[in-house]
Amino acid sequence: MEVLKKKTGRDPLYMKSLAQIHIAVFFLGMSALAGKWSNQNALVLTFARVWISAPALFIYLKLRKMPVLLKRGRDYGCMVALGALWAAHWTAFLTSVQLSTVAIATITFSTYPVFVTFLEPWLFHEKLRPSALIQAFIMLAGAAILVSWGEAGEDMLLGFIWGMAASLLHGAIVLLNRRMVQDYSGEVVAFYSQGFAALLLLPAGIALRPVFTAQDWMAVLVLGLLCSALAQALMGCGLKRVKAQTLSLIGGLESVYGILMAAVLLGQPPTGRELLGGAIVLGVSLFATLRKGAAE
């Protein structure tokens, strides 16, 4: 029976893991829409998001009876750094969403492998491959197509710049996560990073003293519970049986889901320029992932 499952690819546990990751990526794609639903600025949305997601993840860890304490004191410092990166990343990403379009924000975010390409060899003392360098420059060219550079004063260009900042920050998050998941589960890393993000943003939240409407609450609940806590929990469960290469392939659908939902729910279909730039960025990402998987 086990042999049959492997040959047909119908192992129920593996299929369940795939479904969990797809649902998680779908919820992650929804985060851009939540940024459009609310009139609150990106910093307030990020503050509310992490103060909802961190307690939810703590409850999840307790219900699953997973160990919460870290093994080494220095790991808490790494988690603080992760929290700061997540706080800055989500603020930059939501600013990009609010200034431009869901397509521009999600596609520029998808260029984070470019920054991983340059940062990874430096941080982990690995060799920079020429092919990776070429792929990185093609992705940057694809991202550059998204906006008209002749109209520098437009919000679209500002949204693009904020989106690239979010991409750079996410590249740093990926590399620091790579170190932390060697010793801890993805759910534990998510709890600590979002918990420290909440603490770091507390002074800003107190100073801004936001007043939420019913629509604002809907947006932050979607961001905190679905796009953060539930997505992280599903991703952590799914990764137990799914390879990193498969995760990378499914993760590329985040911008696709976000763009499709924006077209249907917000009446914001992508422009021809966004479709072309997105096809280049996601195409290169798909090619690089498949090539890496074939080489391993």
Q: Give me the pLDDT at residue 199, please.
A: 97
Q: Which residue did the predictor score with more confidence, 251 or 16?
A: 16
- Name the pLDDT band for 244 (thresholds 50, 70, 90): low
Task: Answer yes or no: is pLDDT of 6 > 60.
Answer: no
Domain locations in the chain?
Answer: 19-295
Q: Give me the pLDDT at residue 151, please.
A: 55
pLDDT digits (tens, 9 = 90+) for 37-60: 998 999 999 999 999 999 999 999
- Per-residue DSSP letters for the chain? -HHHHHHHT--HHHHHHHHHHHHHHHHHHHHHHHHHH--S-HHHHHHHHHHHHHHHHHHHHHHTT---S-SSHHHHHHHHHHHHHHHHHHHHHHHHHHHS-HHHHHHHHTTHHHHHHHHHHHHHT----HHHHHHHHHHHHHHHTTS-TT-TTSHHHHHHHHHHHHHHHHHHHHHHHHHHTTTS-HHHHHHHHHHHHHHHHHHHHHHH-----HHHHHHHHIIIIIIIIIHHHHHHHHTTTS-HHHHHHHHTHHHHHHHHHHHHHSS-PPPHHHHHHHHHHHHHHHHHHHHHHHH-
pLDDT digits (tens, 9 = 90+) for 109-124: 888 877 877 777 776 6
- Name the pLDDT band for 4 (thresholds 50, 70, 90): very low
- Name the pLDDT band for 253 (thresholds 50, 70, 90): confident
Q: What is the mean pLDDT of the chain?
A: 84
pLDDT above 90: percentage of residues in the chain: 34
Q: Give me the pLDDT at residue 256, please.
A: 87
Q: Taking the model in full, what pTM does it have?
A: 0.86
Least confident range of 39-53, 71-85, 180-194, 281-295: 281-295
Q: Give me the pLDDT at residue 174, please.
A: 82
Q: Give me the pLDDT at residue 125, please.
A: 67
155-178 mean pLDDT:
87
